[in-house]
């Protein structure tokens, strides 16, 4: 009888230990971004999180913190560098500050059209040339997220570069964006993403540049009534993962994250296309003045930027690889 009790105790103890080990193996990763939950980027990120849970049988999960809950893009990026946060989604232009090569994605008219930009996002080029180049800065690129094409908006039509003369235009914290606006005659003014609306409202800036979806969803259309589709850049946003987090993942977990990232990118592209169509109609319904200027004068004003970037070490190979898509 005593032996049976001992064996029963060992069996129960083993079961509890097995359950504890299973629980210990389950791991939660945290991902922060500044978009609303109905935004195409959040939809893509949620698809990524769902795929991680599916491929890992729930042993690896991603919890998403939208709406800037954990801070602005600069703050969440810095948290990711230190490992206080596992992942963050940041503006593709801001990614330049962690790895200058990301600036290639923001060269004016780098992509001939949005179809080429989408082909780039789904290709192996981001992994080959960009993602691991920031490792020594504490972060690794994980995936690209669709962000549409960026165009100018203000309280007057921007139908030619000269229309930007004297205008203070909000740009991301990006050397490339500032060079571009300056080349076209405007005054580039960096403003954090979360502060654009108030900056427009208070006339700190005269206008900005972003996608039609961001223009409508972030309510910038309440302040600026002219949107001009010059489509000067088609820069995707970037999801960064902390190198400290990455190194603690097993090879199997890293593979799961990479596979899920591809699902996230594709989902964001599909969702963004759908959102753009809806938001374009909303802009029309609101009476926004929409114009489709000749893009060539904008290209001509900024062509020297591409020429300068081609001279940097290693950049020519990357740019030519993108152009071949």
Report the C-alpha gap between 47 and 41 in whole angstroms. Answer: 10
Structure tokens at 87: 């992942």
Residue pair 243/135 in contact (Cβ under 8 Å)? The answer is yes
Instruction: Give the CB-side neighbour count of residue 113, counting CA atoms within 13 A.
Output: 1
pLDDT band at 13 (very low <50, low <70, confident <90, very high): very low
User: Are both 272 and 227 inside the same structural domain?
Assistant: no
Domain containing 256 — which CATH number? 3.40.190.170
User: Are both 204 and 294 inside the same structural domain?
Assistant: yes
Domain assignment present for residue 19? The answer is: no
Residue 106 per-residue DSSP state: G
Cα Rg of the chain, angstroms: 23
User: Are both 72 and 193 inside the same structural domain?
Assistant: no
Question: Which residue range forms the structural domain that includes residue 271?
Answer: 27-147+235-278
Instruction: Give the global pTM.
Output: 0.87
User: Are both 226 and 262 inside the same structural domain?
Assistant: no
User: Are both 45 and 115 inside the same structural domain?
Assistant: yes
- Tens of pLDDT, residues 96-105: 888 999 999 9
- Tens of pLDDT, residues 183-238: 999 999 999 888 999 999 999 999 999 999 999 999 999 999 999 999 999 999 99
Q: Helix, strand, or coil here: 29?
A: strand
């Amino acid at each position: 009888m005593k032996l049976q009790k001992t064996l029963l105790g060992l069996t129960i103890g083993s079961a509890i230990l097995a359950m504890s080990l299973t629980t210990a193996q389950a791991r939660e990763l945290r991902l922060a971004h500044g978009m609303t939950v109905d935004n195409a980027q959040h939809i893509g990120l949620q698809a990524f999180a769902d795929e991680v849970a599916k491929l890992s049988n729930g042993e690896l999960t991603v919890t998403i913190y939208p709406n800037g809950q954990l801070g602005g893009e600069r703050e969440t990026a810095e948290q990711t560098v230190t490992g206080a946060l596992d992942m963050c989604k940041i503006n593709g232009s801001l990614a330049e500050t962690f790895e200058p090569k990301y600036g290639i994605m923001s060269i004016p008219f780098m992509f001939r059209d949005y179809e080429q930009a989408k082909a780039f996002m789904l290709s192996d080029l981001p992994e080959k040339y960009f993602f691991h180049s920031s490792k020594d800065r504490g972060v690794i690129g994980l995936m690209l997220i669709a962000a549409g094409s960026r165009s100018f908006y203000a309280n007057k039509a921007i139908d030619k570069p000269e229309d930007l003369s004297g205008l203070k235009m909000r740009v991301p914290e990006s050397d490339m964006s500032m060079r571009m606006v300056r080349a076209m005659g405007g005054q580039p003014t960096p403003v954090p993403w979360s502060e654009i609306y108030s900056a427009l409202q208070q006339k700190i800036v005269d206008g900005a540049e972003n996608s039609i979806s961001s223009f409508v969803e972030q309510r910038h259309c309440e302040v600026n009534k002219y949107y001009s589709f010059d489509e000067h850049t088609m820069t995707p946003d970037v999801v960064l993962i902390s190198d400290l987090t990455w190194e603690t993942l097993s090879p199997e977990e890293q593979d799961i994250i990479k596979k899920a990232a591809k699902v996230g990118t594709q989902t964001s592209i599909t969702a963004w296309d759908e959102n753009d169509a809806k938001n374009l109609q909303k802009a029309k319904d609101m009476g926004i003045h929409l114009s489709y200027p000749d893009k060539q004068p904008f290209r001509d004003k900024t062509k020297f930027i591409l020429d300068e970037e081609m001279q940097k070490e290693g950049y020519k190979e990357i740019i030519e690889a993108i152009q071949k898509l």
